[in-house]
């Protein structure tokens, strides 16, 4: 990667964060940030009662923070900012419908909003502060993910690693840290950054721990910096920094690429299917093909999903899913749900991913193959290609160049609201009316001062 001698990238990012002001953010970026927060809210609500979320709630209670100023989104409870960030970070990453930035292969919402909202509520910050801090977190986290590159993602869960730095930058902005303090916060965040993909092989709960810790550790780093704790000044690009230990193809120029002119926040995609994003392009392509040809699942003899190497690296670890969450990382299961039920949403995964023999049978007919074009375009573009052989011997194919949810094929506000309401109702975290009220609050967030409870529940 080079040692970054001529580029003080961590310093430049810190200066950007410290200098960011609400009135300097273009209005389309402000509006997209609010849409991203609505989308995050639904995912955080849907994490209610998930095993890692419940465990972290018990941990918070045992560690002496039973109440506080920061809300636990999936439950009608409050705690300290640190533990709210921890719990909400885990909850955000359960349903697998939180947002994703293609080029960095990073899920910003699950680490940025839990930290920002918790601190804003604790510090009595304004809605404009929340928006500004979220943009800071997205801009930093996305660039760190792009900088760390494809080699990093092969082993490391970028949302856990880049996400820790993103959360630190976001909280630094809420706290009003100057550039030097922000740089120290990023240094302390980067030295804590972690998250390995090995959990996929065991159906372990580590993915939720990654987002929980990224949000909480970023928060910790920023508060420590406010109180004078120093961190490595070149934690990203230094000779013994993150890239040196976690990447073989890092490109330091990506950290400051058009910083302040290119707003990476608006490049973020929404997720339509309730599964790993690597399955979405093929799912969209298969759904299109089956509708076009009038096929049923039992008309299909074989399916080949032509994919990028990152999909093989992540999804190839799951051949026989044993949990619902692991099934979300199985190309066979996802395409089976699309073929049999024409959907791969929360209900389909909960009720049919592991128990529907037709879905399992279809999954056994699915394989993945590396496609040179798809791989060359990734991660900037996530192209979907499928090849289908029918039982009567026909060879069919389809492709999708822009999966549903990408910025040029995005979700409308009506679709975002409907998605959030469905997610909120999934395990009874909030009624449709309660979620609707929270959504309206987010879409008018700039007028809130201070930010109070986001989800205001009626007596049950």
Per-residue pLDDT of 222-265, as tens digits, reads 999 999 999 999 999 999 999 999 999 999 999 999 999 999 99
Mean pLDDT across 301-312: 97
pLDDT, one tens digit per residue, over 85-116 is 999 999 999 999 999 999 999 999 999 999 99
Q: Name the DSSP letter for residue 367.
A: E
**Distance (Å, rounded) from C-alpha 100 to C-alpha 246?**
21
> Of 267, 332, 276, which is closest to residue 98 (Cα–Cα)?
276
Question: Does residue 417 lie in a domain region?
Answer: no
Question: Does residue 153 lie in a domain region?
Answer: yes
Q: In the chain, how many domains are there?
A: 2
Q: Is the domain of 260 the same as that of 180? A: yes
Q: Is the domain of 246 the same as that of 365? A: no
Domain boundary among 267, 294, 321: 267
Domain boundary among 267, 300, 316: 267
Split at pLDDT 50, 70, 90, the class of 319 is confident
Q: Is the domain of 62 the same as that of 205? A: yes
**Distance (Å, rounded) from C-alpha 222 to C-alpha 220?**
6
Split at pLDDT 50, 70, 90, the class of 459 is confident
Q: Name the DSSP letter for residue 156.
A: B
Burial 215-227 (b: 16+ CB within 10 A, else e): bbbbbbbbbbbbe
Mean pLDDT across 28-52: 98
Assigned token pair, 177 = 């840290």
Q: Is the domain of 146 the same as that of 293? A: no
| Angle CA 331–333–335, to nearest 5 | 65
Assigned token pair, 58 = 């018990």
SS (H, E, C) 270-296: CCCCCCCHHHHHHHHHHHHHHHHHCCC
Q: What is the pLDDT of residue 252?
A: 96
Mean pLDDT across 367-387: 97
Question: Does residue 3 lie in a domain region?
Answer: no
Mean pLDDT across 73-81: 95
pLDDT > 60? residue 390: yes
Q: What is the pLDDT of residue 66?
A: 79
pLDDT, one tens digit per residue, over 191-234 is 999 999 999 999 999 999 999 999 999 999 999 999 999 999 99
CB 258 within 8 Å of CB 264: no
Q: Is the domain of 300 the same as that of 173? A: no
CB 235 within 8 Å of CB 169: no
CATH number at residue 361: 3.30.1330.120
Q: Is the domain of 290 the same as that of 200? A: no
pLDDT, one tens digit per residue, over 333-355 is 999 999 999 999 999 999 999 99
How much is the pTM? Answer: 0.95
Question: Does residue 443 lie in a domain region?
Answer: no
pLDDT > 70? residue 268: yes
Q: Is the domain of 115 the same as that of 167? A: yes
- To 10 degrees, what angle do helices 206-226 and 109-123 make? 40
Mean pLDDT across 433-443: 98
pLDDT > 50? residue 3: no
Q: Is the domain of 297 the same as that of 250? A: no
Question: Does residue 414 lie in a domain region?
Answer: no
Question: Does residue 51 lie in a domain region?
Answer: yes
Q: What is the pLDDT of residue 154?
A: 95
pLDDT > 90? residue 4: no
Domain boundary among 267, 297, 316: 267
Structural domain of residue 169, as residue ranges? 9-267
Mean pLDDT across 397-416: 97
Segment among 8-22, 311-325, 370-384, 388-402 with least mean pLDDT = 311-325
| Percent above pLDDT 90 for the chain | 96
Peptide bond into 291 cis (omega under 30): no
CATH number at residue 31: 1.10.4100.10
Q: What is the pLDDT of residue 458?
A: 83
Q: What is the pLDDT of residue 460?
A: 67
Question: Does residue 212 lie in a domain region?
Answer: yes
Segment among 62-71, 191-200, 244-253, 376-385 with least mean pLDDT = 62-71
Split at pLDDT 50, 70, 90, the class of 64 is confident
Split at pLDDT 50, 70, 90, the class of 429 is very high
Q: What is the pLDDT of residue 27?
A: 98
Question: Does residue 411 lie in a domain region?
Answer: no
CB 78 within 8 Å of CB 70: yes
Q: Is the domain of 194 the same as that of 330? A: no
Q: Is the domain of 238 the same as that of 368? A: no
Q: What is the pLDDT of residue 6?
A: 52
pLDDT, one tens digit per residue, over 6-32 is 569 999 999 999 999 999 999 999 999
What are residue 182's phi and psi, to 5 degrees?
A: -65, -40
Instruction: Please classify residue 279 by burial: count the beta carbons closer than 10 Å to its beta carbon, then call 0-12 exposed, 13-18 middle and 19+ buried.
Output: buried
Q: What is the pLDDT of residue 348?
A: 96
Residue 163 makes CB contacts below 8 A (sequence gap 6+) with 106, 107, 108, 110, 111, 112, 141, 193, 195, 210, 211, 214, 215, 218
Q: Is the domain of 258 the same as that of 293? A: no
Q: Is the domain of 49 the same as that of 140? A: yes
Q: What is the pLDDT of residue 406?
A: 97
The continuous run of DSSP H or E covering 370 comes out as: strand 366-370
């Amino acid at each position: 990667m080079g040692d970054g001698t001529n580029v003080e990238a961590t310093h430049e990012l810190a200066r950007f964060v410290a200098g960011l002001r609400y009135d300097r953010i273009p209005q389309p970026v402000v509006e997209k940030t609010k849409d991203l927060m609505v989308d995050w809210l639904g995912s955080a609500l849907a994490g209610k009662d998930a095993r890692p979320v419940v465990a972290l709630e018990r941990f918070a209670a045992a560690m002496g923070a039973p109440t506080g100023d920061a809300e636990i989104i999936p439950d009608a409870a409050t705690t300290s900012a640190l533990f709210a960030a921890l719990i909400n970070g885990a909850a955000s990453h359960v349903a697998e419908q939180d947002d994703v930035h293609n080029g960095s292969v990073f899920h910003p919402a699950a680490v940025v909003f839990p930290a920002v909202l918790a601190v804003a509520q604790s510090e009595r910050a304004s809605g404009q502060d929340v928006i500004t801090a979220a943009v800071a977190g997205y801009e930093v986290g996305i660039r760190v993910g792009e900088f760390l590159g494809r080699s990093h993602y092969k082993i490391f869960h970028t949302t856990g690693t880049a996400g820790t730095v993103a959360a630190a930058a976001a909280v630094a902005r809420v706290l009003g840290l100057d550039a030097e303090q922000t740089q120290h916060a990023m240094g302390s965040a980067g030295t804590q950054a972690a998250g390995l993909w090995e959990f996929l092989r065991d159906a372990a709960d580590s993915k939720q721990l990654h987002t929980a810790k990224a949000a909480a550790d970023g928060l910790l780093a920023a508060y420590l910096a406010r109180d004078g704790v120093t961190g490595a000044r070149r934690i990203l690009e230094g000779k013994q920094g993150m890239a040196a230990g976690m990447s073989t193809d890092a490109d330091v120029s990506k950290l400051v690429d058009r910083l302040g002119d290119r707003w990476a926040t608006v490049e973020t995609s929404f997720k339509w299917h309730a599964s790993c994003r690597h399955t979405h392009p093929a799912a969209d392509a298969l759904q299109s093909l089956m509708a076009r040809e009038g096929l049923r699942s039992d008309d299909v003899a074989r399916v080949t999903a032509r994919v990028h190497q990152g999909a093989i690296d992540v999804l190839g670890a799951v051949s026989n899913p044993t949990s619902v969450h692991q099934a979300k990382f199985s190309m066979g299961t996802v395409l089976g749900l699309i073929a049999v039920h024409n959907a791969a949403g929360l209900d389909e995964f909960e009720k049919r991913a592991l128990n529907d023999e037709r879905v399992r049978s279809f999954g056994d007919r699915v394989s993945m193959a590396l496609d040179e074009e798809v791989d060359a375009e990734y991660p900037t573009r996530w192209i979907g290609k499928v090849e289908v052989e029918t039982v009567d011997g026909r060879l069919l194919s389809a492709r999708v160049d822009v999966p549903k949810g990408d910025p040029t094929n995005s979700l409308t506000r009506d679709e975002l609201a409907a998605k959030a309401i469905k997610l909120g109702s999934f395990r009874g975290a909030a009624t449709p009316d309660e979620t609707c009220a929270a959504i309206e609050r987010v879409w008018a967030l700039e007028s809130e001062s201070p930010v109070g409870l986001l989800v205001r529940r009626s007596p049950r």
